[in-house]
Amino acid sequence: MKALFIGGIKSGKSFNAEQYILGITTEKKPYYLATTELLDEEMKVRIREHRQQRSERFINIEEPLELYKTLKELDAPVLIECTTMWINNMLYHNQNKEQILEHMDRVLALPQSIVFVHNDVGAGIIPDNALARQYIDISGVVAQKIARECDNVFHCIAGIATKIK
């Protein structure tokens, strides 16, 4: 089983994805794979808040790049928070679109239950710089790829998750 929670920033994606995976998990505690890198003080505060929000309900793993390598070793459902930050990390570490898409194909082929959280970053205007345009384009392609492979897709807005697939 795979599911996607997609929406804008602060739309309630993470909370709804957490509730969803906790609802499908039986005897094993689910994993929470956080992808954000500690690059500045503001991100450290955000990460600390997310860690507190997760508390003891999950087995926490922090991995900014190697999703496939990490996921293939796990034996319980996994929530990935979030794939858009992972794309950011991959670009920051000089990975190109083809490498990102190939990596996501390997992740999607894994047999375990995975819940993806993805920011919908393409609903605004076209940015004036090439890197931002590249990021938005890759994010959109990755979101489509994930949605195609998921059993369930939810759009989140104002804390409400609406099932769209």
* Res 53 pLDDT > 80: no
Cα 84 to Cα 89: distance, rounded to the nearest angstrom: 9
Mean pLDDT calculated for residue range 22-51: 79
- Report which listed range, 54-68, 97-111, 119-133, is most confident: 97-111
Q: Where are the domains of the chain?
A: 2-163
Mean pLDDT calculated for residue range 132-143: 94
Q: Give the pLDDT band (50/70/90) at residue 28.
A: confident
Q: Which of 75, 69, 70, 8 is nearest to 33 (CA)?
A: 70
Q: What is the DSSP string of the chain?
A: -EEEEEESTTSSHHHHHHHHHHHH--SSPPEEEE-----SHHHHHHHHHHHHHHTTSSEEEE-SS-HHHHHTT--S-EEEE-HHHHHHHHHHTT--HHHHHHHHHHHHT-SS-EEEEEE---SSPPPSSHHHHHHHHHHHHHHHHHHHH-SEEEEEETTEEEE--
pLDDT of res. 36: 82
The class of domain 2-163 in CATH terms is: alpha beta
pTM of the model: 0.92
- In this predicted model, which residue has the larger pLDDT, 127 or 64? 64
Q: Give the pLDDT band (50/70/90) at residue 165.
A: very high
Alpha carbon dihedral 110, 116, 120, 121, in 10-degree steps, equals -70
Mean pLDDT of the chain: 91
Cα 32 to Cα 59: distance, rounded to the nearest angstrom: 6
pLDDT of res. 54: 66
Q: State the catalytic residues.
A: 50
* Res 31 pLDDT > 70: yes
